[in-house]
Amino acid sequence: DIHAVCDVVVVGAGLSGLAAATRVAARGRSVTVLEARDRVGGRTLNEPVGEGKVVELGGQWVGPTQERVLALLTELGLRTYPTFDDGDKLFEFRGRLHRYRGSVPRLNPLVIADIAQAQLRLDRMAREVPLDRPWAAPRAERWDGETFSSWMRRNVRTEGGRAFCTIVCEGVWAVAPSDVSLLHFLFYVRSGGGLGRLISTEDGAQKWRVEGGTQRIAHHLAARLGDAVRLGAPVRRIRQERDGVTVSTDGTEVRASQVIVAVPPALSVRIAYDPPLPGLRDQLCQRYAQGSVIKTMAVYPEPFWRADGLSGQVTSATGPVKVCFDNSPPGSAPGVLLGFLEGNQARALGRLPVERRREQVLGCFTRFFGPEAADPERYLERAWAEEEWTRGCYGGYLPPGGWTGHGRALREPVGRIHWAGTETATEWNGYLDGALTAGERAADEVLAT
């Protein structure tokens, strides 16, 4: 029994699915968005922290060159504000805290030169990777035949340089250097416009935040789509017939002429397909793993570290919190410290009970900012690997052999099925911006049929 009929079904009400549905609807086609959770926004999630203030447990920053998300924010009347960046930063290395200003810690000049050279090389190599066909890069086979870790061991000479590269890999890709293909690493660098853009707060992906939190983007888009968005509707099965497609959730079926699947590749193959997906597509999804991040925050009556001249930004080779930010909402209260557990730190600490994890995180904050950090009003965290409808973040990544062996299946439609989600983006893959452009690209594919 068919419960609804429309032109296009979109699976997933993250930013990508909502952007796809918005474009389809704008062209006068009828659309139904089926969302497994009881909320929209997917990997964006607001958490209230006092009167009218929020922090985000999912994606939060936007930055220069992320033209699509910046334009949408303007269109929706959502304002941005700069990430707190005043005062000294901290770098923890070999058990010592180094205070510094600007973008580079005052380390041994050999280490600084080592890092600068690695960045230069990686950026140069990344420019050879075609974003829509990484497998066609002149040295694709070679780069896809090794991990970022093996490249780093050969090319980064100092211990400090390797520690820094490891933090960057964990912080941006949310994986250990030995997890990720060098080709994927380089693809992602190019996709974000260079390594500097990916890691920078001053002029990169961490530059701005969104007033009221990024989940408002999803709330606004969903409000415009109205009844077309159905929550609590996990898609279980997609059946293609000669004249259409039937998308089944628990208890309802929607019939359409095309479907856009806007979930990460790893989740897209938890849906049953009839007929089954082509082998290459399924095998791509067997490899396109989600990264590992637990985003943690501690809420204090005020940002007390600012009085000590600290910006709240920390990079630590010691961990387990290796990257830290002042994540306070605008205004003087509350103060919020943000700590990321990434890659192997997320995997190891993810197995502990929350109380033990809280202890370890607050232990890091106390080391960085003093005893006041030990006793927050609230401790918040989200372990995205535990979430049934996400299973890891920030985005997906490919291990060696993934792009060259299976990459061709990433965006290739399968009959009436089209693929969206930030993992299919060419520009700013893995980011909010990439989620939007990927959704709109899939909508254009559908509209062209």
CB of 430 to ligand FAD, least distance (A): 5
**DSSP helix/strand/coil, 376:** coil
Q: Please pick, from the candidates 32, 430, 437, 446, the single residue that binds ligand FAD as defined by CB under 6 A.
A: 430
CA 66 to chain centre: 14
59 counts as binding ligand FAD under rule CB under 6 A: yes
CB of 353 to ligand FAD, least distance (A): 20
432 counts as binding ligand FAD under rule CB under 6 A: yes
Question: Is 207 within 8 Å of 68 (Cβ atoms)?
Answer: no
Q: Where are the alpha helices (DSSP H) in 52-192?
A: 67-76, 109-126, 140-144, 148-155, 159-168, 182-191
Helix (H) or strand (E) holding 81: strand 80-82
Contacts by residues 414-417 (CB-CB < 8 Å, ≥ 24 positions apart): 414/273, 414/277, 414/278, 414/281, 415/240, 415/245, 416/240, 416/244, 416/245, 416/257, 416/258, 416/259, 417/238, 417/240, 417/245, 417/258, 417/259, 417/261, 417/273
CB of 216 to ligand FAD, least distance (A): 13
Terminal CA-CA length for the chain: 27
418 counts as binding ligand FAD under rule CB under 6 A: no
Strands (E), 249-403: 253-256, 258-261, 272-274, 289-290, 293-300, 310-316, 323-326, 335-342, 378-383, 396-397
Q: Please pick, from the candidates 263, 277, 310, 373, the single residue that binds ligand FAD as defined by CB under 6 A.
A: 263
Helix (H) or strand (E) holding 219: helix 215-225
156 vs 443 by CB, closer to ligand FAD: 443
Backbone angles phi and psi of 106, in degrees to 5:
-80, 85
| Alpha-carbon span 32 to 252, nearest angstrom | 12
Q: Please pick, from the candidates 168, 199, 222, 267, the single residue that binds ligand FAD as defined by CB under 6 A.
A: 267
Say which DSSP state 278 is in: P
| Alpha-carbon span 239 to 262, nearest angstrom | 17
Residues of span 14-33 touching ligand FAD by CB under 6 A:
14-17
CB of 283 to ligand FAD, least distance (A): 20
94 vs 237 by CB, closer to ligand FAD: 237
CB of 257 to ligand FAD, least distance (A): 19
Stretch in the footprint of ligand FAD (CB under 6 A) among 46-54, 263-271, 300-308, 372-380: 263-271
Stretch in the footprint of ligand FAD (CB under 6 A) among 86-94, 196-204, 341-349, 427-435: 427-435
46 counts as binding ligand FAD under rule CB under 6 A: no
Q: Please pick, from the candidates 262, 289, 297, 338, the single residue that binds ligand FAD as defined by CB under 6 A.
A: 262
Stretch in the footprint of ligand FAD (CB under 6 A) among 8-16, 157-165, 191-199, 440-448: 8-16
Task: DSSP for 344-372, please give it.
Answer: HHHHHHTTS-HHHHHHHHHHHHHHHH-GG
Residues of span 220-239 touching ligand FAD by CB under 6 A:
234-235
382 vs 406 by CB, closer to ligand FAD: 382
Q: Please pick, from the candidates 25, 34, 228, 323, the single residue that binds ligand FAD as defined by CB under 6 A.
A: 34
135 vs 384 by CB, closer to ligand FAD: 384
**DSSP helix/strand/coil, 426:** coil
437 counts as binding ligand FAD under rule CB under 6 A: no
CB of 447 to ligand FAD, least distance (A): 19
CB of 162 to ligand FAD, least distance (A): 25
Please classify residue 341 by burial: count the beta carbons closer than 10 Å to its beta carbon, then call 0-12 exposed, 13-18 middle and 19+ buried.
Answer: buried
411 counts as binding ligand FAD under rule CB under 6 A: no
273 vs 305 by CB, closer to ligand FAD: 273
Residues of span 61-80 touching ligand FAD by CB under 6 A:
61
Q: How far is CA 233 from CA 1, 237, 255, 387, in A?
A: 16, 12, 15, 16
Stretch in the footprint of ligand FAD (CB under 6 A) among 10-18, 80-88, 149-157, 341-349: 10-18
186 counts as binding ligand FAD under rule CB under 6 A: no
250's CB contacts (< 8 A; 6+ apart) are 233, 234, 236
| Alpha-carbon span 31 to 148, nearest angstrom | 42
| Alpha-carbon span 13 to 222, nearest angstrom | 8
Give the β-pairing of 88-93 and 310-316: parallel
Q: Please pick, from the candidates 6, 8, 29, 43, the single residue that binds ligand FAD as defined by CB under 6 A.
A: 43
Residues of span 276-335 touching ligand FAD by CB under 6 A:
293, 295
Say which DSSP state 276 is in: P
Q: What is the pattern of x (binds ligand FAD, CB under 6 A) and - over residues 350-389?
A: ----------------------------------x----x
Binding site for ligand FAD (CB under 6 A): 11-17, 34-37, 42-44, 58-61, 234-235, 262-264, 267, 271, 293, 295, 384, 389-390, 393-395, 421-422, 430-432, 435
